[in-house]
Amino acid sequence: MSNQNVRQTEATPVVDLFGIEAPKKVTAEKFADDQNLHIPKRDEHYVFRKEFVREVLAYIQKPHNDAMLAFGHTGTGKSSGFNQLLARLNYPTEEVTCMEDMRFTDLLGQFVLKAKSPGEVPQMTWVDGPLTRAARYGHALIINEWDLMEPGELAGLNDLLDGRPLMIAQNGGEVIDPHPDFRLFATGNSAGSGDEMGHYQAVKTQNLAAMDRYRVIEVDYPEPEVEMNILARVAPKLNPELRDGMVKVANEIRTLFKGENPEAQIGITMSTRVLRRWAMLTLDFKGAKNASGYALDIALLRRADKEEREAVSRICKDVFGDLWS
């Protein structure tokens, strides 16, 4: 049976944990043990969004046998939203990224040839996969790119989400009653409906019965104020006017990417990931001619086609004016 030890927690104001606006009396339970090796690494520049924090905290507090799915475009802050929030709560976490050929059994674990101690004859030994570890020890599990998995494989999670124990037939039928701190998060570019816009080719349409077990949050690119705040943290030495322009350019590119402008559509986008990279590279190459243009090339445009490069270049000239030389 599983280890059902109850962990010590400390009620901590969410304003202190996440830097979001909230009265001091609004608290979240943080695990007292901050030394667990499974706690995600903190990104000190991370900027939290209130809505997201509220919904994730509500799920952690009362999961009601649900799982939680964050879906949205690439680089909007789905995986990092979960792992950074969990990091602030000292929540031991497993994180796995799906590939097309990933099987449910890969999440459960496998037998490997292992010697118990040096010099002994190696024997086939069961090693827990991320799902089993999370259920056994009460960790959070984040399954990234969840919609790349075949629907039939993903449905393997259904029993667990219905509150039934995890049964590992391969390991002699071991039965694990999930630890009370086990939580299941998933991220993907779709809400289970497949690739509707043609941007995410390998995404699979998911089974309705499996989808029924998830609470869903749509994550869009952060508001301009949030991204200004992110850039101020990661590139404080950059001219604020330039930072402001970068956020504007990012949002114009996204409008074209999302197909919100019927005149033009492009197949590349500027994720928050790329925006951060652009700002930091501009500082790294500050001695170069048109440092921000050169940095944008490295950060994004080298993988764009000619038309996309021209469209982005027009946006930059519009937004930056004289600053774009």
Ligand X SMILES: Nc1ncnc2c1ncn2[C@@H]1O[C@H](COP(=O)(O)OP(=O)(O)OP(=O)(O)O)[C@@H](O)[C@H]1O
88 binds, among Mg ion, ligand X, none (CB under 5 to 8 A by kind): none
Q: Which of 79, 84, 269, 292 binds Mg ion (CB under 5 A)?
A: 79
Site stretch for ligand X (CB under 6 A), options 40-48, 85-93, 107-115, 123-131: 40-48
Pull the structure tokens for residue 161.
């989400």
Could you tell me which of 51, 149, 49, 133 has the C-alpha nearest to residue 95?
133
Least CB distance to Mg ion at residue 245 (A): 27
Q: Does residue number 90 form part of the binding site for ligand X (CB under 6 A)?
A: no
DSSP string, 118-156: TTSPPEEEEEE-HHHHHHHHT-EEEEETGGGS-HHHHGG
The interaxial angle of helices 272-284 and 291-299, nearest 10 deg, is: 140
Shorter beta-carbon distance to ligand X: residue 9 or 74? 74
Shorter beta-carbon distance to Mg ion: residue 142 or 166? 142
* Residue 15 burial (CB count, 10 A): 15
The binding track of 66-85 with respect to ligand X, each residue x by CB under 6 A or -, is: --------xxxxxxxx----
Dist CA 132 CA 139 (whole Å): 10
Share of the chain residues as helix, strand and coil, in percent rounded to the nearest 5 = 40, 15, 40
Binding positions for ligand X, 197-256, rule CB under 6 A: 222, 230
Could you tell me which of 26, 48, 138, 131 has the C-alpha nearest to residue 90?
138
Shorter beta-carbon distance to ligand X: residue 40 or 222? 222
The binding track of 179-208 with respect to Mg ion, each residue x by CB under 5 A or -, is: --------x---------------------
190 binds, among ligand X, Mg ion, none (CB under 5 to 8 A by kind): none
Residue carrying the six token digits 């924090």:
53
Size of the site for ligand X (CB under 6 A): 18
First to last CA, the chain: 66
Residue nearest to Mg ion as judged by C-beta position = 79
Shorter beta-carbon distance to ligand X: residue 189 or 206? 189
- What phi and psi, each to the nearest 5 degrees, are found at residue 25? -75, -10
189 binds, among Mg ion, ligand X, none (CB under 5 to 8 A by kind): ligand X
* Binding stretches for ligand X (CB under 6 A): 45-47, 74-81, 187, 189, 222, 230, 272-273, 276
